[in-house]
Amino acid sequence: MERFKAFCEKLTGKDSKGHFRATEKGAGMTAKGVAAVNRKTGGNLKTAVTGKVKPGSKAAGRRKSYCARSAGQMKMFPKAAKDPNSRLRQARRRWKC
């Protein structure tokens, strides 16, 4: 996670206030942070899929893909997987995995 934050800091600049959601609030990037990264890189990042989605929609596919990737992270980092307050678990809860 620290490497990711350092990477995003490089993209968005040192003053990246408000670009990351607090762990207690579900972890991950905010819309402001995503917009800053997209402006800097010309990328196409999107925020988390948190609401109800229709089965088979693009949002449902993004959620399924994120949940599968983060399940792999749970295997790689069992310490974070056991802690219900880790950024990984909070983000998965926000994505409704």
Query: Is the domain of 29 the same as that of 62?
Result: no
Which tens digits make up the pLDDT trace of 49-78?
A: 999 999 999 999 999 999 999 999 999 999
According to the 3-state scheme, what is the secondary structure of 51-72? CCCCCCCHHHHHHHHHHHHHHH
Count: domains in the chain? 2
Query: Is the domain of 40 the same as that of 53?
Result: no
Q: Which residues are registered as beta bridge partners of 20?
A: 29
Which tens digits make up the pLDDT trace of 31-42?
A: 999 999 999 999
Task: List the domain range (segments joined by +) for residue 4.
Answer: 1-47
Query: Is the domain of 66 the same as that of 28?
Result: no
Query: Is the domain of 94 the same as that of 62?
Result: yes
Query: Is the domain of 52 the same as that of 95?
Result: yes
pLDDT exceeds 60 at position 11: no
- pTM equals 0.76
Q: Where are the beta strands (DSSP E) in 1-97?
A: none
Among residues 27, 29, 3, which one has the least CA distance to residue 92?
27
Structure-model confidence comparison of residues 6 and 20, the more confident one: 20
The structure tokens listed for 60 are 């449902």
